[in-house]
Structures are given as structure tokens and as C-alpha cells.
């Protein structure tokens, strides 16, 4: 402890009498010459420049993304983002929901992409919520402290696996497994993607649930035990309700991650922009659309701006979700402090 | 009474089962990749470039590219991020504007990585790069995918992560320590350098390591900002004809991108499966060493803090 104690404190520890401290203060003040004042100001300005540069860079992302995205409206009408009027086989007029940016009549319906994103993200979030919360409960309430010290880092390690590796496994292992057991029509489908995405967001939910439950004061638990409740009754009726806002935030954050996940869905959902509610159909998410089309697009073309618009929509969605999660967490912190 | 206990035990074992399931998945992934990949790994695999249309040979250029890219990212993001966090935490006030900025940064850490890729292509390559080319009359030197732009994109990606984790570490230093330093006549910078930074160093280090590992494993942001399918030679240039250095204006091969491209777009996916597992193993080992270091450091740091 001795050597990490900051120097002024060490000096203070050595200075036994009040007189010595006063003498030291005097010398410090005298030493604060013009040079030191210039140095202070320079450092202040340098750090401020860094701070503002970061803020500007971050603001640039917002501004640039939306500026390019809104460009799309110069040529694409808002109604076209929903569907295009077309004539079906029997000669009736209908709306076709297609994302076909290449061709003579490019179509930019966002519905299949948004639908694809949610078809992956919702099942993944639901499954991960169940497993993740159970995992968090285990970590916070059931595991012995020693076991917890081992299990929690391991679960967090799972979140550190590069998503491309998980996508690769989803593509080669999970897809085969699902097809052999469920006999799906498409080998790569939304369900396979959802299973892959689960691996990424379960650790997020588990870890945050654990934090939320451990923040619940022990008085509540003791009061419950005092009334004769069993461990599970205490857990399910006292501790979980008390930590519910933190858990809700973790689920929201998990959902944000699921919506924004790129590599796993790009590799394992089949990449067909279909407007469907069938979870075993090939789909294409917003993220995968950007990832698979950005490479071949010409700068300044209609499709280029349309992709930025997809990016803006995606950004807005995840931003709102994250914002709510953040709000819930900060409210919880404030409540626990009182 | 008995029934209540039974229900409790049943539910508790479900929770245990969930934790067990997650650990099983982790060990399955690790074991599976290790088992399938270890057979491919030998000295040639680690030190040779791909040959025979990517079906044979090694992945050295991809390892080289990953490390060089991560290096560029760190050089751009780490000093900026740490300095920004120090400014925001120690100099800037706690007013409304400051809170909005913090919320924005916090939120940005959760923005999808492909959005950063989009930003990298649109802003760094097509806007900054093309403008540079026009001003400097360099033809098409800056306005195309390159290591520099990929590094910059990743830097913007990890910047919020670094700022948030540094901020957290700085916040953990008790206010009384700062006051004690001021009371002894320290100036603001003396206080930061001698009191705040030494105490928050482990936390800053942990955050940095975790963000490095995140950057090293990221694929989506580099898809279009500089990663290449195959390059016959390393992106190295001889400075003044003698000193070799990484050429920031060239494209590069990268481990994560290599896995992606081999498993989805190569001409014969089945033929290159062993190579895919081998590459995945190398990438996993690389990121895991970083992650494990970071997580252990953080656990130790937290324990210390709780004790202090």
C-alpha cells in the first residue's frame, strides 16, 4: 500500500507536526512561478483540445450519417420506402414490399429489412432474457463467492469472442444441427441467426442482472427471511422485484446489441430480403444489407444514399433503445442511493 | 412447507442449469475450434502467405495486418480517449451540457459496428480522402480503402469505450484524495498526475486492453475501409529506401476478415474448412489472451477498491 500512496500524502505522512506542513505549503506556493502557471494552462488547453476533438468526432457521426441519409429523399419518395405499387398475377393492383436496389426500377422498401432485423432480434432477445436472467440469478444469489469469481469472468469471456467466429460456427455447426433436427426448408434462416446472436447477448444480460441483484440491499433479504420465507421465495418476491429496473435495462441493451449485430446475421441468415413472419425463412437484416451492398455501390448514387438511410434508421433505433436503458439504470442508481 | 421448499429447489436448479448451459456453450466453442484448428497449426501456417488460390499455405499476412491495424487504432484512439476522459472528469464542469455529452458518449458505445463502417467509408475515404487528393493533387492515393482509414474507423469505434472506462476509473478515486492534494498546495495538474492517475491506472489499463481486444476482433467496420481478400505482398514500405515501416496507404489482410471471406465467398468453401478453423483458432487465442488479461486485472482492481 505504501508505494501506491500518492506522493503528497506520503509527504504529509512524514510531516509529523503542523509546523512542517505549513512550511511545505509555503514552499509549494513560492514554487508556483510563472513557468508553472504557463505549464498548467498549456496542459489545460491540451486536454481541452482532446476533449473537444472527441466530442466533435462523435458529433460528426450523428451529423454525417443523417446528412447522407436524408439525401436519399431527393429521389426516393417516402411512400416508396414502404412499398411500390405493382400488379400481381391476377391483374389486381397491390403494393409490393421489395428491396431491390439494382435493376431498371430499383425498389427500396424498408419493410423486409426491418422485418428481418426483428425476426432475428426478437427471438434472440426472448431466449437470452430467460437464460441470461437465470444465469444472473445464479451468479448473484446461488453461487458461492468462490465459484462466482470463476464463473463470472468465464461468462464475460464468452462476450469477448469475436462475432465473426460465432458467425462462422453458426454457419457451419448450428445451421447443420438445426437442419438435421428441425428439417427446415432453408439451411440458413432467421432462427439460426437468432441462436448465434444469443451467444453474444446472454453474457450482457447475465452480467448486468448480476450487478443489479447485488445492488439490492441485504436488509430486504434479511427482512424476508425473518418473516419465514424460503430462499427462493425471498429471491422471486423480494430481490427480483427490487432489482427489476436493472434487469429491464439489461434486456433493453441486449436487444440493442441484437438489432445491431452484423457479422453473425450476415453469415447465417441466408441474405434474402423477404417480407415474412416465418422464423425459418431466410431473411436479411438492416445490418447485413449495409454490409453486403456497401462494397459495390457507387459514391453519390441513389443506392449509396439509401444505404445511409438504412444506417440512420438502424442508428436511431439502437440509440433510442440504449437511451431508455441508460435512463432506467441512472434512475435505479439514484433510487438506491436514497 | 414441504411443497414450498420443493418448488424453490426446483427453480434454483433451473437457474443452476442455465449457468451450466452457458458454460457448456463456452467450452464447446473453445473445444470445438481448438480440436478442429489445432491440426492445421504449424510453423508454415503461421509464417507463410496463402498459396494455391487460398486453399493452401498460411495466414501470416493476416496476422501481420491484424497487429498493424490494431497498432494504428491504439495510436489514434488511446491518447485521445484518455485525455478526453481526464478533461471531462477533472476540468469540465458538471453542468447540463456536460451531462448531455456524457450520455451521448455512453450511448455511442452501443451503436452497431456496421454504422461505424458506413461512417468510415462515407467520411474518411470518400469525404476526407477525396478532398485530400484534390488539394494535394495526388490522384487517387487517399480516396481509397487503406490501413489508415480502417485504423481511423476502428479508433472512432473504440473511442467511446475508452472514454467510458477511463471515466469510470477516474470516478473511483475518492474526492477526499483530490482535496488532500489541493490542501497541500498542489496545482490541478500536479494533483492529477501524482494522485489521480496513479490510482486509476489499473482501471484505465483494463479498459484499454478490453478495447484493444474488441478492435482486434472487429470485422464489420473494416469490411470496406481497407481489408483485402488476398495480397501478394505485405503492406510494407521502405522509408527512404532503407527503414521498413507499415504503409498506411495500402490495403491489408486481416484475421477476422479472412475467416469471413473464406467461409462465405471463396470458390470452394469445403476445401478451405481446415484453414478457416485454423484462422479462427489464431484469432481466438489472440483476443482471449487480451480479454483474459483485462478481465483478471479488472477483477483484481475491483477487489482492491472494495477493500480500500
Distance CA B6, CA A142 (A): 16
**In chain B, which among 26-55 make CB contacts under 8 A with chain A?**
26, 29, 32-33
B80: nearest CA partner in chain A: A50
Q: Which of the residues B14, B115, B281, B292 would you substitute to probe the A interface, choosing the one with the greatest number of A C-beta atoms within 10 Å?
A: B115
Please check whether residues A266 and A205 belong to one and the same domain: yes
Interval B52-81 mean pLDDT: 88
Establish how many alpha carbons lie within 13 A of residue B268's alpha carbon, considering only the half-sphere containing its beta carbon.
Answer: 10
pTM metric for this prediction: 0.86
Is A236 among the domain residues? yes
CATH of segment(s) B64-307: 1.10.3720.10
Please check whether residues A185 and A321 belong to one and the same domain: yes
CB contact under 8 A, A61 and B159: no
Backbone conformation region of residue A300, classed left if phi is above 0, alpha if psi is from -120 to 50, else beta? left
Please check whether residues A112 and A69 belong to one and the same domain: no
Establish how many alpha carbons lie within 13 A of residue A185's alpha carbon, considering only the half-sphere containing its beta carbon.
Answer: 6
CB contact under 8 A, A138 and B15: yes
A87: which residues sit within 8 A by CB, 6+ positions away? A93, A94
Distance CA A333, CA A215 (A): 9
Which residue has cell 451529423?
A: A63
Residue B160 in grid coordinates? 467511446
Interval B164-181 mean pLDDT: 90
More confident residue, A89 or B65: B65
Which residue has cell 431491390?
A: A100
Model pLDDT, residue A3: 44
Could you tell me which residues are beta bridge partners of residue B246? B236
Chain B residues near residue A167 by CB distance under 8 angstroms: 260
Residue A31 in grid coordinates? 514554487
Residue A270 in grid coordinates? 441466408
Is A296 among the domain residues? yes
Please check whether residues A123 and A271 belong to one and the same domain: yes
Chain B residues near residue A290 by CB distance under 8 angstroms: 114, 117-118
Model pLDDT, residue A222: 93
Chain B residues near residue A36 by CB distance under 8 angstroms: 187
Please check whether residues A134 and A18 belong to one and the same domain: no
Model pLDDT, residue B52: 73
- DSSP SS3 for A249: helix
Q: Which of A74, A89, A122 is the last residue of a domain?
A: A74
CB contact under 8 A, B114 and A61: no
Tens-digit pLDDT profile for chain A (338 aa)? 334 445 455 444 444 445 555 555 555 555 557 788 888 899 999 998 998 898 888 888 888 899 988 988 888 777 777 777 776 667 776 777 778 777 777 888 888 899 999 999 999 999 999 999 999 999 998 999 899 888 988 998 888 899 999 999 998 899 989 889 888 888 888 999 999 999 999 999 999 999 899 988 899 999 999 998 988 999 999 999 988 888 999 999 999 999 999 999 999 988 887 787 888 888 899 999 999 888 888 888 888 999 999 999 999 999 899 888 888 877 777 776 65
B224: nearest CA partner in chain A: A295
Q: Which of A24, A53, A74 is the last residue of a domain?
A: A74
- Give the residue among A11, A29, A7, A33 at the shortest CA–CA distance from A20: A11
Distance CA B289, CA A116 (A): 35
Q: Which of A74, A91, A126 is the last residue of a domain?
A: A74
Is A99 among the domain residues? no
Please check whether residues A219 and A326 belong to one and the same domain: yes
- Residue span of the structural domain in which A160 resides: 107-337
Q: Which of the residues A8, A251, A318 would you substitute to probe the B interface, choosing the one with the greatest number of B C-beta atoms within 10 Å?
A: A8
Please check whether residues A120 and A193 belong to one and the same domain: yes
Please check whether residues A119 and A54 belong to one and the same domain: no
Least CB–CB distance from B189: residue in A29, A43, A54: A43
Is A91 among the domain residues? no
Share of chain B above pLDDT 70, in %: 97
B218: nearest CA partner in chain A: A162
Please check whether residues A145 and A294 belong to one and the same domain: yes
Tell whether B204 is within 8 A of chain A (Cβ). no
Please check whether residues A46 and A188 belong to one and the same domain: no
Tell whether B118 is within 8 A of chain A (Cβ). yes
Tell whether B111 is within 8 A of chain A (Cβ). yes
**In chain B, which among 2-21 make CB contacts under 8 A with chain A?**
4-5, 7-9, 11-12, 14-19, 21
Is A102 among the domain residues? no
Q: Are A193 and A268 in contact (CB under 8 A)?
A: yes
Measured over the CA atoms of residue B80, residue B81, residue B86 and residue B88, the dihedral's sign is positive
What is the DSSP track for B148-197?
Answer: HHHHHHHHHHHHHHHHHHHHHHHHTS-HHHHHHHHHTT--HHHHIIIIIH
Residue B248 in grid coordinates? 498506411
* A296 exposure class (CB count in 10 Å sphere: 0-12, 13-18, 19+): exposed
B226: nearest CA partner in chain A: A295
- Give the residue among A235, A210, A208 at the shortest CA–CA distance from A221: A235
Model pLDDT, residue A25: 55
Residue B285 in grid coordinates? 487465442
Q: Strand A99-100 and strand A107-108: pairing? A: antiparallel
A159: which residues sit within 8 A by CB, 6+ positions away? A200, A203, A204, A207
Can you count the helices (H) and strands (E) in chain B?
A: 12, 4
Model pLDDT, residue A164: 93
Could you tell me which residues are beta bridge partners of residue A294? none
- Kindly list the domain boundaries of chain B, sorted by start residue: 64-307
Please check whether residues A59 and A184 belong to one and the same domain: no
Model pLDDT, residue A196: 94
More confident residue, B219 or A25: B219
Chain A residues near residue B199 by CB distance under 8 angstroms: 4, 6
Residue A134 maps to which CATH number?
Answer: 1.10.3720.10
Q: In the predicted model, what is the mean pLDDT of chain B?
A: 86
CB contact under 8 A, B84 and A162: no
CB contact under 8 A, A166 and B29: yes
Tell whether B219 is within 8 A of chain A (Cβ). yes
Model pLDDT, residue A331: 78
E strand segments, chain B? 50-51, 56-57, 236-239, 243-246
Predicted confidence (pLDDT) per residue in B253-281, tens digit: 899 999 998 888 777 777 888 889 999 99
Distance CA A214, CA A218 (A): 9
Is A90 among the domain residues? no
Distance of CA A249 to the CA centre of its chain: 11
Please check whether residues A60 and A163 belong to one and the same domain: no
Model pLDDT, residue A1: 36
Predicted confidence (pLDDT) per residue in B2-51, tens digit: 888 888 899 999 999 999 999 999 999 999 999 999 988 888 888 888 87
Measured over the CA atoms of residue B211, residue B217, residue B221 and residue B225, the dihedral's sign is positive
> Largest Cα–Cα distance of chain B, in whole Å?
85
Model pLDDT, residue A336: 66
Residue B263 in grid coordinates? 467461409
Interface size A-B, in CB pairs within 8 Å, comes to 287
Q: Are B113 and B218 in contact (CB under 8 A)?
A: yes
Backbone conformation region of residue B46, classed left if phi is above 0, alpha if psi is from -120 to 50, else beta? alpha
Chain B residues near residue A233 by CB distance under 8 angstroms: 4, 8
Domain count across chain A: 2
Amino acid at each position: 500500500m505504501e508505494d501506491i500512496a500518492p506522493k503528497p500524502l506520503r509527504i504529509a505522512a512524514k510531516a509529523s507536526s503542523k509546523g512542517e506542513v505549513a512550511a511545505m505549503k509555503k514552499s509549494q506556493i513560492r514554487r508556483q512561478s510563472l513557468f508553472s502557471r504557463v505549464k498548467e494552462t498549456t496542459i489545460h488547453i491540451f486536454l481541452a483540445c482532446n476533449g473537444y476533438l472527441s466530442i466533435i468526432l462523435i458529433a460528426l457521426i450523428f451529423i454525417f450519417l443523417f446528412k447522407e441519409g436524408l439525401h436519399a429523399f431527393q429521389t426516393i419518395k417516402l411512400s416508396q420506402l414502404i412499398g411500390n405499387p405493382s400488379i400481381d398475377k391476377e391483374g389486381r393492383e397491390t403494393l409490393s414490399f421489395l428491396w431491390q436496389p439494382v435493376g431498371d426500377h430499383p425498389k427500396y422498401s424498408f419493410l423486409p429489412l426491418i422485418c428481418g432485423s426483428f425476426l432475428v432480434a426478437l427471438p434472440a432477445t426472448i431466449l437470452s432474457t430467460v437464460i441470461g436472467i437465470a444465469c444472473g440469478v445464479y451468479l448473484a444469489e446461488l453461487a458461492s463467492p468462490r465459484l462466482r469469481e470463476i464463473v463470472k469472468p468465464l461468462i464475460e469471456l464468452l462476450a469477448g469472442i469475436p462475432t465473426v467466429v460465432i458467425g462462422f460456427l453458426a454457419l457451419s455447426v448450428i445451421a447443420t444441427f438445426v437442419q438435421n433436427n428441425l428439417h427446415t426448408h432453408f439451411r440458413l434462416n432467421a432462427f439460426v441467426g437468432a441462436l448465434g446472436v444469443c451467444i453474444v447477448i446472454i453474457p450482457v444480460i447475465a452480467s448486468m442482472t448480476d450487478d443489479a441483484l447485488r445492488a439490492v440491499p441485504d436488509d430486504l433479504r434479511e427482512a424476508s427471511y425473518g418473516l419465514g420465507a424460503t430462499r427462493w421465495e425471498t429471491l422471486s418476491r423480494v430481490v427480483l422485484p427490487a432489482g427489476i429496473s436493472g434487469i429491464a435495462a439489461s434486456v433493453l441493451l441486449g436487444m440493442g446489441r441484437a438489432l445491431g449485430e452484423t457479422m453473425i446475421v450476415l453469415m447465417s441468415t441466408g441474405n434474402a430480403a423477404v417480407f415474412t413472419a416465418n422464423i425459418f425463412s431466410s431473411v436479411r437484416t438492416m445490418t447485413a444489407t449495409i454490409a453486403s451492398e456497401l462494397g459495390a455501390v457507387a459514391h453519390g448514387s441513389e443506392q449509396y444514399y439509401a444505404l445511409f438511410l438504412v444506417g440512420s434508421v438502424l442508428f436511431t433505433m439502437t440509440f433510442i433503445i440504449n437511451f431508455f436503458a441508460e435512463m432506467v439504470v441512472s434512475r435505479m442508481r439514484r433510487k438506491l442511493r436514497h | 412447507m414441504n411443497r414450498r421448499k420443493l418448488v424453490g429447489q426446483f427453480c434454483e436448479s433451473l437457474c443452476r442449469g442455465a449457468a451450466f448451459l452457458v458454460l457448456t456453450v463456452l467450452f464447446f466453442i473453445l473445444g470445438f475450434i481448438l480440436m478442429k484448428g489445432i491440426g492445421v497449426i504449424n510453423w508454415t501456417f503461421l509464417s507463410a502467405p496463402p498459396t494455391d488460390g487460398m486453399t493452401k499455405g498460411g495466414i501470416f499476412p493476416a496476422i501481420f495486418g491484424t497487429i498493424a491495424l490494431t497498432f494504428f487504432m491504439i495510436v489514434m484512439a488511446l491518447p485521445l480517449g484518455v485525455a478526453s476522459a481526464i478533461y471531462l472528469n477533472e476540468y469540465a464542469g458538471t453542468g447540463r451540457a456536460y451531462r448531455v455529452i456524457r450520455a451521448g458518449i455512453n450511448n455511442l458505445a452501443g451503436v452497431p459496428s456496421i454504422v461505424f463502417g458506413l461512417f468510415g467509408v462515407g467520411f474518411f475515404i470518400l469525404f476526407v480522402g477525396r478532398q485530400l487528393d484534390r488539394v494535394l493533387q495526388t490522384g487517387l492515393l487517399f480516396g481509397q480503402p487503406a490501413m489508415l482509414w480502417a485504423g481511423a474507423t476502428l479508433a472512432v469505434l473504440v473511442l467511446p469505450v475508452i472514454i467510458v472506462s477511463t471515466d469510470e476509473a477516474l470516478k473511483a478515486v475518492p474526492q477526499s484524495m483530490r482535496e488532500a492534494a489541493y490542501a497541500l498546495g498542489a496545482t490541478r495538474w500536479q494533483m492529477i498526475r501524482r494522485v489521480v492517475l496513479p490510482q486509476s491506472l489499473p482501471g484505465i489499463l483494463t479498459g484499454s486492453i478490453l478495447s484493444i481486444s474488441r478492435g482486434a476482433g472487429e470485422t464489420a467496420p473494416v469490411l470496406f475501409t481497407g481489408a483485402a481478400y488476398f495480397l501478394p505482398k505485405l503492406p510494407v514500405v521502405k522509408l527512404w529506401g532503407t527503414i521498413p515501416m507499415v504503409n498506411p496507404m495500402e490495403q491489408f489482410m486481416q484475421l477476422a476478415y479472412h475467416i469471413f471471406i473464406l467461409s462465405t465467398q471463396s470458390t470452394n468453401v469445403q476445401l478451405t474448412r481446415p484453414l478457416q478453423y485454423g484462422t479462427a483458432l489464431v484469432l481466438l487465442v489472440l483476443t482471449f489472451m487480451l480479454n483474459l488479461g483485462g478481465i483478471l486485472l479488472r477483477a483484481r482492481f475491483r477487489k482492491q477498491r472494495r477493500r480500500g
